[in-house]
Amino acid sequence: MSTTLVSLESLQYLLQYMDANRRFEIYNRCPSLRDLEKSVPLKIESLVFEERCIVVNDTSYKLGIIQKYIVGETPKYVAERNENGGVFYEMDRYGIMDQLDAWTVTPGDIGIELGGEPWIENEDAYIGTLQHNIQQYELEIAQQLERMPHRNQEARRRDNQPSNYEHFVQITTSKIVHEQEQKTIQRYIHNKKFSEAMKQLAIVLFGGRSSPIYVTEFNFDCEIGVTRLPVGVKFHIEQLMFPGDVATTLDALAPIIQDSSYPLKELCISYLSGDDVNNPIVKAAGVFEIREPLTNVLQTLSTITNPVVHVATSLTNESLEELIAHWIESNRPVGNEYTIHHVSRHYPFHEVDQSNEGHILANLMEDTLKKLKGVPIDEENMIIPMSDETRLKVSYGPFPEFAPYSKWAVKFLTELIEH
């Protein structure tokens, strides 16, 4: 079998176009090429930060602490945790949670604390979350009898006796290939705390790079807590997504976002509250999306000036008329495009007849647009005059082309009239 040698110059060129995860493999397997790999700008399509996991494109890197029993049979709950990659917090040698450094912010880290009472936009969703939490607590209580070995470990720690098991730090790397999960596991001696291991993982992936890391879609899925990152890392971001408080999260992320990222091409948040709409980063985003369903969509949209907006709400005849009337009265500029994804009033905890609801919505749209003297183009598009120069195009329907994953949506677009 012949071998083709690649010069360092050629490899440096190829690295620019190589998948980020393949580059991480080269870094880990070829120590002599580490400096070269770090010197070439890194490009990532999708980057997600979670509490115990970093997802780069289609590959996740999950960290956990594994317990291996030395004496006796491994309890079922421990075996299940090991099977799922271990626990995502530090444990002492007896297997008891140790959170002393969980909130310690070291240089480079991002720390977000929960301040005040949580803002609730959708009470049904919030109640459903509480009900789910109650079920989890009940399940935890039901498992207490099985966890007697854990209580035994507390006694062993109190009496300074040897532990019954060993701990390992495990990194689980997984990706989906042809609808099948491919997984690799690496285990290390537990000589670093969980927070230190997360820090080391971030350093290996992102640390020591001479230029900003270019990320198309950056999802910071951490509402509270400390995200471990290397000192000096910078990300050039096109699309930013996060579930937490807008002002708090943007302030926390500011040190790691390259100035050239602004204005963001797209900003996606979970909810809007207080004076968020006047935040300069929010106002300047080209596309602005609010994920959680709105209770007062007109009040919210009347304060937003972004050219492209995506929101969700339960549409009614009144809300549609108000939205269209406000759009025309405010003379939205040419090119402004707002998409409203309909969610059932029962969302998300009760079943509804989706097909019947879609039929009702279609009739509702037609009645509303006729009242406003809309001119039909086809079954899913109508035109409403705004001025001598502009018109409002209203598109709607189930799983429409402009919102293929939405069960039903409507889009408003200001167009220039061609004379």
Instruction: Please check whether residues 30 and 69 belong to one and the same domain.
Output: no
Q: On the CB side of 38, how many CA atoms lie within 13 Å of its CA?
A: 17
Instruction: Please check whether residues 36 and 151 belong to one and the same domain.
Output: no
Closest CA to 108 of 225, 35, 216, 203: 203
pLDDT for 155: 52
255 lies in some domain: no
pLDDT digits (tens, 9 = 90+) for 321-344: 899 999 999 999 999 999 999 887
- At 272, which amino acid appears? L
pLDDT for 139 beyond 80: no
* pTM to 2 decimal places: 0.84
Instruction: Please check whether residues 29 and 68 belong to one and the same domain.
Output: no
Q: How confident is the model at residue 413 (pLDDT cuts 50, 70, 90)?
A: very high
Q: Is 400 exposed, middle or buried (0-12, 13-18, 19+ CB in 10 A)?
A: middle
270 lies in some domain: no
* Mean per-residue pLDDT over the chain, rounded: 86
391 lies in some domain: yes
158 lies in some domain: yes
Instruction: Please check whether residues 351 and 388 belong to one and the same domain.
Output: yes
Q: How confident is the model at residue 161 (pLDDT cuts 50, 70, 90)?
A: low
Q: How far apart are CA 403 and CA 396, in angstroms?
A: 10
Q: How far apart are CA 293 and CA 312, in angstroms?
A: 5
Q: How far is CA 211 from CA 13, 143, 208, 233, 398, in A?
A: 16, 50, 9, 9, 44
pLDDT digits (tens, 9 = 90+) for 192-206: 999 999 999 999 999
pLDDT for 131: 78
pLDDT, average across residues 139-144 = 64
146 lies in some domain: yes
Instruction: Please check whether residues 340 and 409 belong to one and the same domain.
Output: yes
Instruction: Please check whether residues 27 and 72 belong to one and the same domain.
Output: no
pLDDT for 331: 93
pLDDT for 254: 97
Instruction: Please check whether residues 15 and 125 belong to one and the same domain.
Output: no
What element of type H or E holds 137?
helix 123-142
pLDDT for 44: 98
CA angle 256, 261, 265 (to 5 degrees): 130
Residue percentage of the chain with pLDDT more than 70: 85
pLDDT for 101: 82
Instruction: Please check whether residues 68 and 36 belong to one and the same domain.
Output: no
Domain count, the chain: 3
pLDDT for 339: 96
165 lies in some domain: yes
Instruction: Please check whether residues 69 and 22 belong to one and the same domain.
Output: no
249 lies in some domain: no
SS3 125: helix
pLDDT for 154 beyond 80: no
pLDDT for 352: 42
pLDDT for 118 beyond 60: no
Range of the domain at 384: 293-419
Instruction: Please check whether residues 32 and 136 belong to one and the same domain.
Output: no
75 lies in some domain: yes
* Token pair recorded at residue 201: 């993982």
pLDDT for 141 beyond 80: no
pLDDT for 369: 75
